[in-house]
Amino acid sequence: GQPTLYKDTATTTQSGLNTPRSVAFDSVNQRLFVADYVNDRVLVYDVSTITNGENAIYVLGQTNFISDIATSTQSGMFGPVGLAYDSANQRLFVSQTSHCITVYNVATSTIANGMNAINVLGQSTFTGNTSAMTQSRLNTPIALEYDGASKLFVADSVNSRVIVYDVAAITNGENAINVLGQSSFVTATSTPTQNQLHVPYGISYDTVGKRLFVSDRTDNRVVVYDVNAITNGENAVNVLGQSNFTNSTATTTQTGLARPQAVTYESSNNLLYVSEFDNNRIVAYDVNSIVDGEAAVDLIGHYMENDGITPDYTKSSVNSSPGLYGLSSGVVYSNALDTLNHRLFSAENGNGRILVFNLDSSNRLIDKTPDYVLGQSTFFYTSSARTQASIGNVTGLAIDVSGQ
């Protein structure tokens, strides 16, 4: 999606991306499918060996790699957001913000740029794009999950439900067979209870335990369903992120969640990874034997000041800021280099501080960790005060090297 790890330019090219929203992996043929949301397409990469910034090998939803037309047609796409791959039948399911799910035959012998979808769900035709709350219709489907046998689970976000399709053989616009999060296909209540959902955003399936994990975004929780035998509107069996099924408070703790989005189940270690929009982190739960409201066992995104390894469950800012390992949204406005004592001073505007990095004898960074902070008493404070030791929104630096 970018030529290097340090670029973030949005492009509509064979190698570029613009707001990728979901990925699906074909482990047999070593292909990665990417929902390139703003470009209204799905790109296919050969990842048997990866080169940074490599070209995609196929595009779906557009006739070529430089078009980005949003259309509701059999060959077009309108805001693809979710993907699921059926490895046995080489089918790719794509959820779109035009309130539909399109199905593609992506067998290696038949896939082609701009190819037609073979089926559509959520609409009776490929050109339909209106929302509804019925047994056959959708309203902004987000995440998809295929159970590997015959069921497709769909997070129907605005309808606050998860619906289940039997996709062993698909008829365009067919009815869903089950609904979770609502008592029926025509209700959309959204109170935090054991059998209701409020804007589900992510789903993941445990093929052995027959469990479905659903991120209930607005209720700040993940609920777990036993889907070995599904009853419409059934109760969830467990909840994570809240101590019970009626709480919905967002928190930044080891047991709490704040607007969870994607969920991913890892079967070999029975771990569930949950990404959180507001807490800017990914937490991991041991779900071998779940206790409601249990504590996470690991975290990615925020670490303790003293080692940069130990998880810190109390931070929520982007890039762990303020701290040793992140910067604020204000970023760095100015730098000054002390070539005599080999130090770099960086003015971090948003956090009201100056970070000091020790350099080697050639004035290169030794590591990515600042060694001192000026303007704040510790790396974790961002108070703005008019005192002898404090600074506000610092925007410029200059250093007198000889006078220090």
Residue-level pLDDT at 305 = 64
The DSSP line for 65-133 is: TT---B--SSSBBS-EEEEEEETTTTEEEEEETTTEEEEEE--TTT--TTPPPSEEEBSSSTT------
Residue 177's contacts (CB-CB under 8 Å, 6 or more residues apart) are: 164, 165, 166
Backbone dihedral angles phi then psi of residue 60, each to the nearest 5 degrees: -115, 145
Q: Is 73 exposed, middle or buried (0-12, 13-18, 19+ CB in 10 A)?
A: middle
Residue type at 385?
A
Residue-level pLDDT at 337 = 86
Residue-level pLDDT at 161 = 98
CA 327, CA 255: separation in Å to the nearest integer? Answer: 26
CA 261, CA 281: separation in Å to the nearest integer? Answer: 11
**80 upstream amide cis, omega within 30 of 0:** no
Residue closest to 300 by CA, chosen among 286, 317, 313? 313
Residue-level pLDDT at 320 = 59
Residues of the chain with pLDDT under 70: 305-308, 318-331
Q: What is the pLDDT of residues 227-272, one digit of tens each?
A: 999 999 999 999 999 999 999 999 999 999 999 999 999 998 999 9
- Give this prediction's pTM: 0.83
Q: Is 75 left (phi over 0), alpha (psi -120 to 50) or beta?
A: alpha
Residue-level pLDDT at 324 = 67
Please tell me whether residue 62 adopts helix, strand or coil conformation.
Answer: coil
